[in-house]
A and B are shown apart, each in its own frame.
Chain A
């Protein structure tokens, strides 16, 4: 554990110092290389997770009497191996892999992504109520912002656009900035704990 933690500490201090002091500017290409290393190492973790996922589905098939939906596990493993083998043999730019991705996976992703709108609508229906002061403020400000993008309302009442802009530019931005500063301080605290070896979980 000592050597990995030492490497993490040195690199963290190096990245921080390089941001503030120009004398480390010649090392900037090396910094980018280190960041690339991190991305490559992260990719290795995907392999472990995928292996565990396959084991879980194999177990479902093996104990099919306990799970009535074990057939979906067969479907998963079949599609997984088809994609895996096509990518392995032809590469990720191969015709089969690209066809499977462009005509099966991507449309599926988009279809699921499109359901977000319906979930937002149902969540909004549940939340935007005159329950208490906070919910009322949320309802009124939400209504103004929604009306400001509808010509049906902005035509007869152009002041809605001004009100919505004020809501977006003043209280929303203020809350956003305060929130971001808080998170940034959290990142500083985390980095310091990592440098001081007080937070070893980052090394899994």
Chain B
């Protein structure tokens, strides 16, 4: 019996390297040397959307997608919405913009509730947080008619769509667009990225969402792991180039990488 399952050695090696790099940056962060993340242009877009809502005296809608926190592939997308939600809610509370967050995430609802409540308290306006309207749980199947009808009725001036999305992406984004909202959308689900980019005024693609969450939350753990992930990407780029050259030279690259 081999020590490592056949075909998974390279994956294990990359995993170990990425983990090592993340741990290194975490240690650096704990020693006070934080990794610098460049300011993403989507942060200015969030400020612009909130300013639009304040000027027009209309709501801002925050939609955090679907999925459930029990699936590993959906969890990063869902967790990345928390940092963005905290920033957006606090800004809305500071500038007096009403935010409405119909969430379809039953487990994350508890966390999002606390995030929004604390954001209002930090802005010094706890009385403006409505526990049954600022954030409301809407079952997944009901989000389509809810968003379509309520956005048409309430006419929000801005919309932010982040998280893990299924096919409702286009419905929600288009419903908000038809209601006259300026929208920023982002997801890490591959098959919904085209819809996010097409239907929204501005977009965050995949890891930009994770980077946004890390930048806005200023959490050392998040920024450190982001830096580690970037090193992982460099490794993959190098391996891709080596594989490309080797494949062009007629080498059986699959045999190499399936070690």
Contact = CB atoms under 8 A, between A and B. Distances in A.
A201 B106 contact: no
Contact of B171 (A16, A69, A119, A179): A119
Contacts, number: 163
Interface stretch (B32-40, B90-98, B134-142): B134-142
B195 A201 contact: no
B193 A179 contact: yes
Nearest to B18: A188
A contacts with B: majority SS: helix
B70 A41 contact: yes
A113 B70 contact: no
A145 to B, nearest CB: 11
Interface string A87-120: 0000000000000000001000100110110011
Interface residues of B, number: 67
Given A112-B145, A119-B171, A189-B229, A20 B107 contact: no
Interface in A78-93: none
What class of interface size applies to chain A in its complex with B?
A: 35 or more
Interface string B1-42: 111110010011001001100110010000000000000000
A186 B144 contact: no
Given A41-B70, A180-B190, A49 B137 contact: yes
Given A48-B109, A123-B174, A182-B206, A188 B70 contact: no
B253 interface: no
B116 to A, nearest CB: 13
A183 B188 contact: yes
A42 B232 contact: no
A186 B76 contact: yes
B188 A123 contact: no
Given A122-B174, A186-B207, A193 B221 contact: yes
A116 B167 contact: yes
Contacts of A180: 190
Given A49-B109, A202-B79, A21 B5 contact: yes
A123 B72 CA distance: 31
Most chain B beta-carbon contacts within 10 A, residue among A56, A115, A183: A183
B225 A48 contact: no
B139 A49 contact: yes
A21 B16 CA distance: 14
Interface in B82-118: 82, 106-111
Interface string A125-160: 011000000000000000000000000000000000
Contacts of A187: 72-73, 75-76
A146 to B, nearest CB: 13
A49 B132 CA distance: 12
A152 to B, nearest CB: 24
B62 interface: no
Interface in A20-42: 20-23, 38-39, 41-42
A179 to B, nearest CB: 5
A120 B106 contact: no
A38 B1 CA distance: 31
A22 B1 CA distance: 8
A196 B233 CA distance: 22
B5 A127 contact: no
A45 B205 CA distance: 29
25 contacts: A20-B11, A42-B68, A52-B136, A56-B132, A56-B133, A69-B153, A105-B141, A112-B145, A115-B171, A119-B175, A119-B199, A123-B177, A180-B190, A181-B233, A183-B76, A186-B207, A187-B75, A189-B18, A189-B76, A189-B225, A190-B76, A192-B19, A192-B225, A193-B222, A204-B111
Given A123-B198, A188-B22, 13 more contacts: A42-B106, A45-B68, A112-B145, A119-B199, A123-B177, A181-B233, A182-B207, A188-B18, A190-B76, A192-B23, A193-B222, A198-B26, A202-B79
Interface of A: 16, 19-23, 38-39, 41-42, 45-46, 48-50, 52-53, 55-56, 59, 69, 105, 109, 112-113, 115-116, 119-120, 122-124, 126-127, 176, 179-183, 185-193, 196, 198-199, 201-202, 204
